[in-house]
Structure formats: structure tokens, C-alpha cells
Amino acid sequence: MTKWLELIDSWNFVGLAIVGISVLIFIAAFFRYARKKMSDGLMMIWFVMSLIVFILGFVLIITGYKSGVIVSVTCIACALLLVMIFIVSSMVSELMMKVRELAMQVALLNQENDSMLQQINKLKEHEKDA
């Protein structure tokens, strides 16, 4: 039992937390992309960032680097910052897709409006001729 407690010291815990957060970010980005709520480019950016954070956390677990509490607090703060950036970029991506959809709808409505105006002008010309 003490062997497990020695393995799970503060650095291993921080490393496990960082690895866990990176896996959660990757899974969340994948599902948001699958549900068409995140664009391709942002998905790839989050995949690369979560992979880098995963590798850094894994290296922290393996090496057991012990330099102080400041580094652990910095690692946790960086991981939380990544989570916040992920949430914001997901919202921005969703809004970009909504804007694209609205632009398509406006273009279709303008096209329909132009065809209706042409029909009205043709009817007015026929009334003048009659």
C-alpha cells in the first residue's frame, strides 16, 4: 500500500490531472466536431494542443520532476486556461457556422426577391400594353 502512495505523490497527481484534462479536451473537441459545432481548423488546433499537453503531462509523470509547488500551481493554471480557451473557441466556432448559415439564407431570400420583382415588372408591362 505504501508503494502506491509513493507513486502517487504531488507531481504524479499533477501529471495525471494534466493528462486527464488533455484527454477530456480532445474528446470534447471530437464530439463538438462530430455534431457540426466546431470547424475543421479549430478541431485540428485543439487536437494538436491536447496532444502536446498530454505528452507534457506524461513526461511529468515519468520523470517525477520535483522543483517546487510553484511549478505545480503553474501547470494546473495552464491546464485550466486551456479549458477556458477551449470553451471560448467552441462558442466562436459555433457562431461562425451560424453566421455562414444565415448568409446562405439571406442570399436565397435575395434571389427569391429578385425573381419576384422581375415577375412584377413583367406583369406591369403586360398591363401597360393592354
Encode pLDDT of 65-82 as tens digits: 666 655 666 677 677 778
Give pTM, 2 decimals.
Answer: 0.59
| Range of weakest confidence among 5-9, 13-17, 24-28 | 5-9
Which positions ≥6 away from 83 have C-beta within 8 Å?
A: 21, 25
Count of Cβ atoms closer than 10 Å to residue 29 Cβ: 23
What integer pLDDT is reported at residue 64 of this predicted model? 66
Encode pLDDT of 18-56 as tens digits: 889 889 989 998 998 898 888 787 788 888 888 878 877
Alpha carbon separation from 4 to 13, 24, 54, 59 (Å, rounded) = 12, 25, 22, 19
Amino acid at 1: M
Cα–Cα distance, 55 to 71 (Å, whole number): 17
